[in-house]
Amino acid sequence: MAEGYVEYRNLRKSFGGLEILHGVDLTIPEGAFAVLVGPSGCGKSTLLRMTAGLEDVTSGEINIAGRMVNNVHAKNRGIAMVFQSYALYPHMSVEDNMSFGLKMRKTPLHLITDRIKRAAAILKLGPMLDRLPSQLSGGQRQRVAMGRALTREPEVFLFDEPLSNLDAKLRVEMRAEIKALHQRLKTTTIYVTHDQIEAMTMADLVVVMHDDRIEQVGEPLAIYDRPANLFVAEFLGSPA
């Protein structure tokens, strides 16, 4: 019986015969802010892309809210994903960037207007709705990308290293904003980073990944105090 909101069962992924995820078993509870952390190349983005339906499952299962979604189209999974490169349309205003996906889904216009108003208020984008992405700072662009995800009103948020392109100061600010957003909406979130500090400061649940598998799952302090193995201890800088 599925208890978790996002659940992976013996999930495997191969590219051209080479297996890069070796049987992931993981449960993310409803409303959690889970941070998936691990070195570059360990398969974090692949796992997120599979969750979003942007990459096929080789074997195993992905369940969302108790429903097996392996063969559910990306747009019907109730998921919104925020990428590292903001992937905004350069020739469209902030407002059009935010509404484009909803228009494609034939969402009624009054609903689109409501949702954009709400997202703009939450993300402090109100005065910027008419601007082009080129007229915004990096942090503002990332907010637009988040706004676009927010207007979809997803059941699950996926973030793939959303702050990597920002400078250190802005990164700290945006961490707090993303956490505040989660406090407010309580949307189940999987946040990917290779930054240990980001993981320890943002997560309810830390998932440490290494060599294409999951090493340990737990609350930040519990993992830090009781690392399951040497890799986790060294990666998180736990005291010896």
Minimal distance, residue 209 CB to ligand ADP, in Å: 7
Residues that bind ligand ADP (rule: CB under 6 A) add up to a total of 10
Q: Which of 2, 20, 92, 122 binds ligand ADP (CB under 6 A)?
A: 20
Stretch that binds ligand ADP, among 35-43, 58-66, 80-88, 135-143 (CB under 6 A): 35-43
> Binding to ligand ADP by residue 74, rule CB under 6 A?
no
Could you tell me if 145 and 83 are in contact, meaning their C-beta atoms sit under 8 angstroms apart? yes
20 binds, among Mg ion, ligand ADP, none (CB under 5 to 8 A by kind): ligand ADP
Could you tell me if 102 and 112 are in contact, meaning their C-beta atoms sit under 8 angstroms apart? yes
Could you tell me if 93 and 129 are in contact, meaning their C-beta atoms sit under 8 angstroms apart? yes
53 binds, among Mg ion, ligand ADP, none (CB under 5 to 8 A by kind): none
171 binds, among ligand ADP, Mg ion, none (CB under 5 to 8 A by kind): none
Judged by beta carbon, residue 40 or residue 134, the one nearer ligand ADP is 40
Minimal distance, residue 222 CB to Mg ion, in Å: 25
- Contacts of Mg ion in 1-60 (CB under 5 A): 45
- Contacts of ligand ADP in 36-55 (CB under 6 A): 38, 40-46
Binding interface with ligand ADP (CB under 6 A): 15, 20, 38, 40-46
Binding interface with Mg ion (CB under 5 A): 45
